[in-house]
């Protein structure tokens, strides 16, 4: 049930680029510096929107209108969303690129499912302040009108630890049975599937991209920091560029004080403001075309 004042996607509009001359100027500058087209994909950190399947359609609409014969750079900012949508976006980006590859520029944060999109790139362009994030699934509960988020990985692990203790117990099983009654085995099975799916998407993206020289087993070892909360402790904690480099990912760190990143930051500020005001929750655009998703308040 939709809560009062909740925000929902109202419409998606595609329009020829008009009235955005300032942003267009920065696209042209970045394309000159990178030697390839730049396509932005921003979802709001303010409004409760997420990466979802319809975004892939918006992105495809912009890519169809662009000359990507030499590849392109995806200018990406998002708190995350649906992993399956991220996988579809990876496929679309690779399919429309003339080289079969794409770069990602992270001006600030590309978390969760947005990190998955980065894992499918051939190169990640960042600064020392850019943030990636864990890709382990989360589940949201509403208790007493408060939103609580839990790591699926931690739920499954706690269940398995408790179950293991119960199996080894030679005395009174009742305390363990009482605690195990709080878990639904069907949910645990679904959670295990969700964890496996997230890992599978990441492995396939990397095995066909940045880490193609490694076995699946080695890929899992390299990117453990992304797959579980064991190292980062909580889903929202940033994974910085040095961590990504330590995983063997192809990361190019740009100097914050140089002209390139000044242009990146100026475009980021304008796009982030755009998806944080006037009920615009998402924006996918190039120097010539812009798709945006509006949101409205449900009464």
CA distance linking residue 81 with residue 293, whole number of Å: 15
CA distance linking residue 185 with residue 95, whole number of Å: 40
Residue located via tokens 């998806």: 275
Name every residue whose Cβ is closer than 8 Å to that of residue 68 and which is 6 or more positions away in sequence.
37, 96, 97, 98
Mean pLDDT of the region 72-96: 97
Mean pLDDT of the region 16-31: 79
For the domain 7-133+238-297, what is the CATH code? 3.90.226
Mean pLDDT of the region 231-236: 90
Task: Please state, in angstroms and as integers, the Cα–Cα distance from residue 95 to each residue in 104, 208, 229, 250, following that order.
Answer: 15, 13, 32, 20
Mean pLDDT of the region 101-109: 98
CA distance linking residue 160 with residue 154, whole number of Å: 10
CB 191 within 8 A of CB 155: yes
Q: Does the structure show a pLDDT above 60 at 7?
A: no
Tens of pLDDT, residues 195-221: 999 999 999 999 999 999 999 999 999
The predicted structure's pLDDT at residue 150: 87
pLDDT band at 9 (very low <50, low <70, confident <90, very high): very low
Phi, psi torsion values for 52, nearest 5 degrees: -145, 175
Residues of the chain above pLDDT 90, percent: 78
Ranking 10-19, 61-70, 169-178 by mean pLDDT, the lowest is 10-19
Sketch the domain layout of the chain as residue ranges: 7-133+238-297, 136-213
pLDDT band at 297 (very low <50, low <70, confident <90, very high): low
Mean pLDDT of the region 252-275: 97
pLDDT band at 145 (very low <50, low <70, confident <90, very high): confident
170 vs 118 pLDDT, higher one: 118
Q: Does the structure show a pLDDT above 60 at 17?
A: no
Mean pLDDT of the residues in the chain: 90
Residue located via tokens 């075309």: 289
Mean pLDDT of the region 125-133: 97
The predicted structure's pLDDT at residue 298: 52
Hey, how many other C-beta atoms are within 10 angstroms of the C-beta on 119? 27
Q: Does the structure show a pLDDT above 80 at 165?
A: yes
Q: Does the structure show a pLDDT above 80 at 8?
A: no
């Amino acid at each position: 049930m939709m809560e009062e004042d909740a925000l929902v996607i109202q419409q998606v509009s595609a329009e020829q680029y008009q009235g955005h001359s300032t942003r267009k100027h920065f696209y042209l500058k970045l394309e000159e510096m990178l030697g390839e087209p730049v396509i932005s994909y921003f979802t709001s950190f303010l409004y409760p929107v997420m990466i979802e399947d319809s975004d892939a359609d918006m992105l495809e609409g912009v890519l169809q209108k662009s000359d990507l014969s030499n590849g392109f750079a995806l200018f990406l900012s998002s708190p995350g969303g649906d992993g399956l949508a991220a996988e579809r976006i990876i496929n679309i980006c690779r399919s429309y690129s003339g080289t079969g590859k794409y770069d990602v520029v992270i001006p600030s944060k590309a978390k969760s499912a947005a990190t998955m999109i980065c894992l499918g790139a051939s190169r990640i362009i960042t600064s020392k302040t850019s943030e990636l994030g864990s890709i382990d699934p989360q589940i949201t509960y509403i208790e007493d009108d408060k939103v609580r988020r839990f790591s699926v990985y931690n739920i499954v692990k706690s269940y398995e630890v408790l179950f293991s203790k119960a199996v080894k117990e030679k005395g009174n099983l009742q305390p363990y049975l009482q605690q195990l009654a709080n878990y639904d085995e069907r949910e645990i099975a679904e959670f295990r599937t969700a964890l496996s799916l997230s890992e599978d998407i990441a492995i396939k993206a990397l095995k066909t991209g940045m880490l193609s020289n490694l076995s699946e087993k080695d890929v899992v070892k390299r990117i453990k920091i992304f797959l579980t909360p064991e190292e980062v402790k909580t889903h929202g904690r940033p994974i910085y560029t040095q961590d990504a480099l330590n995983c063997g990912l192809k990361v190019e760190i740009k100097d914050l004080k140089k002209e390139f990143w000044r242009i990146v930051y100026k475009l980021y500020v304008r796009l982030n403001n755009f998806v944080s005001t006037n009920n615009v929750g998402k924006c996918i655009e190039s120097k010539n075309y812009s798709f945006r998703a509006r949101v409205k308040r449900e009464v």
